[in-house]
């Protein structure tokens, strides 16, 4: 009798496991990680983005070279993380795009998992797996010492990649970029603008490098908004000559390097070109260009804080056409001509800066703090 009962129980289990189950009753499975390249059957960025379902999905590019541009639609990819593992190089541009609203294209928000309140309370009392405290909202000190809560919308986040074609942000697009490289130090391919920030866009770049070989490293259109933190902006340098290659190959001991001087020739005209834009640059370096920073036509909300502008063939900072940025705690040195030129009708706020060179104020120029 015992054997018959055991066989009957086994039969019920087998029947339960072999019976088809409709997967629609399982509900949402939640966010996932999608791999592109390497061992994955997803080979292109477009295919990887099309597989995204939830706003908390993560797209990981495995080490390798990828053709074309990486286009990120900030309208529908808010909250998505895109990460490069190893050396991830795109031959084209990073394009942070904006498109018209379509509710059918929105990514899903995962449904909250059902929790047994009694079990959760028991675990909390035991002191294990307690939920972390909620994140506090960022506070900034405004006028008259009052603290205001700053609510920032979610943005598509990108990190640890290289783009030989530079970067482009379209109007109204938003994005966050960390630890990326744009352009090449030797100017191949040649780029008129390494990164272009369009009007009404709002982007954040941190710990990134930009190499320019044409008109300017960064160009920001009127009413563009952006934040650059701990970034490097450099003009391209000539490639190593054949004689230099032979010398290195034979192991010749080079002479001591000469003292640093301003370059006589450069391959990029302007480092940061702000055309009535509202850009904030913090703890960054601009070098190997003709003009380090050029601001024109108001730029009243542009801030340059704790930056180094060095090795320019002509002028370190040029303010023209009523430009009125705020420049604080910055250093300008090794310039071919002037360290600072304040043009007609310009009214900058300059405090705590060090200019190792000539400072020229044109007629009707006004300054504060210099």
DSSP per-residue string spanning 46-62:
HHHHHT--BTT-EEEEP
- CB contact at 8 A, 173 and 197: no
Evaluate if residue 132 carries a pLDDT over 50: no
pLDDT tens per residue across span 161-176: 999 999 999 999 999 9
Mean per-residue pLDDT of the chain: 83
- CB contact at 8 A, 322 and 298: yes
pLDDT tens per residue across span 239-264: 666 676 676 667 666 667 778 889 98
Instruction: Establish how many alpha carbons lie within 13 A of residue 95's alpha carbon, considering only the half-sphere containing its beta carbon.
Output: 14
- Please give the CATH number for the structural domain made up of 183-239+261-370: 2.160.20
- Please compute the mean of the pLDDT values over residues 121-126 and round it to a whole number: 43
- pLDDT value at position 209? 97
pLDDT band at residue 139, thresholds of 50, 70 and 90?
very low
Evaluate if residue 114 carries a pLDDT over 80: no
pTM: 0.79
- pLDDT value at position 78? 82
Evaluate if residue 129 carries a pLDDT over 50: no
pLDDT band at residue 137, thresholds of 50, 70 and 90?
very low
Evaluate if residue 39 carries a pLDDT over 90: yes
Listed range (8-12, 117-121, 153-157) with the worst mean pLDDT: 117-121
- pLDDT value at position 106? 77
pLDDT tens per residue across span 15-37: 666 666 665 555 556 788 999 99
Q: Cα 6 to the chain's mean position, in Å? A: 64
Evaluate if residue 103 carries a pLDDT over 50: yes
- Please compute the mean of the pLDDT values over residues 194-219 and round it to a whole number: 95
- pLDDT value at position 9? 73
- Please compute the mean of the pLDDT values over residues 363-370 and round it to a whole number: 64
Domain ranges for the chain, please list them.
Answer: 183-239+261-370
Q: How far apart are CA 279 and CA 180, in angstroms?
A: 19
Evaluate if residue 314 carries a pLDDT over 70: yes
Residues 6+ apart with CB under 8 A from 235: 211, 212, 213, 217, 266, 267, 268, 271, 287, 288, 289, 290
Evaluate if residue 12 carries a pLDDT over 70: no
């Amino acid at each position: 009798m015992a054997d018959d009962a055991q066989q009957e129980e086994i039969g019920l289990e087998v029947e339960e496991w072999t019976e088809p189950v409709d997967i629609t009753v399982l509900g949402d499975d939640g966010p996932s990680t999608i791999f592109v390249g390497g061992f994955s059957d997803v080979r292109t960025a477009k295919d990887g983005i099309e597989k995204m379902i939830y706003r908390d999905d993560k797209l990981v590019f495995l080490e390798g070279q990828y053709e074309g541009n990486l286009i990120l639609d900030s309208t529908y990819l808010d909250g998505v993380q895109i990460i490069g593992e190893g050396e991830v190089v795109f031959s084209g541009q990073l394009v942070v795009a904006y498109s018209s609203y379509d509710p059918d294209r929105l990514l899903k928000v995962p449904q909250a998992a059902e929790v047994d309140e009694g079990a959760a309370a028991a675990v909390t009392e035991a002191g294990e797996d307690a939920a972390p405290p909620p994140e506090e909202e960022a506070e900034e000190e405004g006028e008259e010492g009052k603290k205001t809560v700053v609510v920032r919308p979610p943005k598509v986040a990108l990190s640890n990649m290289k783009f030989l074609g530079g970067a482009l942000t379209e109007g109204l697009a938003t994005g966050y970029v960390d630890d990326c490289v744009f352009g090449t130090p030797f100017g191949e391919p040649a780029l008129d603008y390494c990164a272009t920030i369009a009007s009404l866009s709002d982007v954040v770049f941190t710990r990134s490098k930009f190499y320019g070989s044409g008109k300017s490293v960064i160009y920001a259109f009127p009413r563009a908004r952006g934040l650059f933190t701990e970034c490097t902006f450099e003009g391209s340098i000539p490639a190593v000559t054949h004689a230099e290659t032979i010398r290195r190959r034979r192991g010749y001991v080079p002479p001591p390097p000469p003292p640093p001087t301003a370059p006589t020739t450069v391959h990029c005209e302007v480092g940061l070109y702000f055309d009535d834009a509202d850009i904030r640059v913090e703890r960054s370096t601009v070098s190997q260009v003709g003009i380090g920073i050029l601001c024109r036509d108001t730029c009243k909300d542009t801030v340059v804080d704790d930056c180094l502008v060095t090795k320019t063939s002509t002028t370190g900072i040029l303010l023209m056409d009523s430009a009125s940025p705020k420049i604080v705690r910055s250093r300008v040195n090794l310039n071919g001509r002037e360290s600072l030129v304040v043009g007609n009708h310009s009214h900058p706020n300059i405090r705590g800066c060090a200019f190792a060179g000539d400072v020229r104020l044109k007629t009707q120029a006004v300054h504060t703090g210099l």
